[in-house]
Amino acid sequence: MVLSDSLALKSSFEESGIQVCVKPLPRDYRFGKHAETLRPLIDSIRPSIIHSSLFHADMILRYLDTSAKKVTGLVSAMYSDGRLNHLPWLTRKKVWVLKHWDTWTSSKIDAFIANSNTIRSHYIQDLGYEPEKVNVIFRGRRIKSSNSVVQRKENQLVFIGRLIPSKGLETAIKAFEKLSRIHPCLIFKIAGEGPERPYLMQLIQELGLENKVILLGQVSHVNALLAESALFIFPTHYEGLPGALIEAMLAKIPIICSDIPENRECVDESMALFHRVGDAADLVAQMQKALILSDWEARTQKAFDFAVAHFDIEKIVRQYENVYRELLTDPG
């Protein structure tokens, strides 16, 4: 059974025969009160395992009085310097309080599932989580076999992700402006939506790139967009485990990404090119290198093989099942 305050995936769950209970709760910090609100429903269901996703649900679960095993997903290193440096001073103070609250209540959870080794290390080293409780299971992707061959547009660069400051799009657009002076035929397509759109539109206009940088908005044809593009640009400042990067690996598209631990869990120097975080000049240099590199076929094949070996959704599902089975057989 799925308990959620969102209707976004309701139909998908129900089509799979999974009962959905929609229970909207305010996204505030009265975690104990919200736990009491849910308790009659939980008592009626009597689940063996409760798995929470995202911060507010995670904290509510810690206050829920139940005999069920409690599992929480860790999807980002939310207290890392990389994240905090992007926040206003007052927000950083609030996050500092939440960090200590998180640490204090972490003992109430039986198992954590981190999206990456980077996230696991963050919660163990910075918050003192018990190492034996923190498992690493990567985000899964359905591996699709296709014999269709799409002609790549050699002049097309692409980014996929949310339009938020941490994705590094300001750096990417400024770097592209310099690159387009040398290669005026290039275009840069940006797929995704988010609050930074107005600023990015203004930046594009200021740099005179209206006909070269295209904000596509939300797209449903991500795989096709990757397949037709010549280069994937991923200048993000921090991630949990980068889903867009994994999609690019499976599409066998040449990749330039920021040099952060989360990206390096997916690709290495034999698969992709790296640039220094927030460094437009270095990104330009890597773009220029990418355009003349002769071994992309071998690099992209190696990235594809790594993605299939580590991110196949069928393998990921079995790893989750193993964690659940271990919890159910644990007498503690």
Q: Is 127 contained in some domain?
A: yes
Q: Is 148 contained in some domain?
A: no
Tell me, what's the pLDDT at 224?
92
Tell me, what's the pLDDT at 186?
97
Strand partners, 312: 141
Both 179 and 49 in one domain: the answer is no
Q: Which domain holds residue 96?
A: 2-140+313-329
**Surface-to-core class of residue 71, CB atoms within 10 Å of its CB (0-12 exposed, 13-18 middle, 19+ buried):** buried
Structure tokens at 268: 């290495």
Tell me, what's the pLDDT at 50?
96
Q: How many domains does the chain have?
A: 2
As a whole number of angstroms, the distance between CA 268 and CA 270 comes to 5
Tell me, what's the pLDDT at 116?
95
Both 99 and 40 in one domain: the answer is yes
The single residue listed with the structure tokens 């994937």 is 232
Tell me, what's the pLDDT at 332?
61
As a whole number of angstroms, the distance between CA 158 and CA 251 comes to 12
Tell me, what's the pLDDT at 150?
65
End-to-end alpha carbon distance in the chain: 24
Average pLDDT of adjacent 10-residue blocks, the chain of 332 residues: 72 88 87 94 93 93 95 93 84 93 96 96 96 96 69 91 95 97 97 97 97 95 93 95 96 97 97 97 98 96 96 96 94 64
Tell me, what's the pLDDT at 229?
96
- Whichever domain contains 200, its CATH number is 3.40.50.2000
Both 92 and 237 in one domain: the answer is no
Both 14 and 110 in one domain: the answer is yes
Both 223 and 248 in one domain: the answer is yes
